[in-house]
Amino acid sequence: MAYVINDDCISCGACEAECPVSAISAGDDKYVIDADTCISCGACAGVCPVGAPNED
C-alpha cells in the first residue's frame, strides 16, 4: 500500500527530501505522494514532525 499525506501536513518539505524514489511533491495546500511511484518504505513517515504520512 502506498503512503498518503493527511491534512495534518504543515508543508515543511522534510518528507520530500527523504523519499528515495522522488514520489513526493508540493501540492496546493500540502505535500502529495504519487501512489504509482511510492515503494511504501516509510522514510517519509519517519521524518515527518506531525505524522502526516500514513499507509493508505
C-alpha cell of residue 11: 508543508
Per-residue pLDDT reduced to its tens digit, 9-55: 999 999 999 999 999 999 999 999 999 999 999 999 999 999 999 99
Domain assignments of the chain as residue spans, ordered by start: 3-55
R_g (Cα) of the chain, nearest Å: 9
- CB burial of residue 30 (10 Å; 0-12, 13-18, 19+): middle
Class of domain 3-55: alpha beta
- Is the model's pTM score more than 0.75? yes
CB 5 within 8 A of CB 32: yes
Cβ neighbourhood burial of 19 (10 Å; 0-12, 13-18, 19+): buried
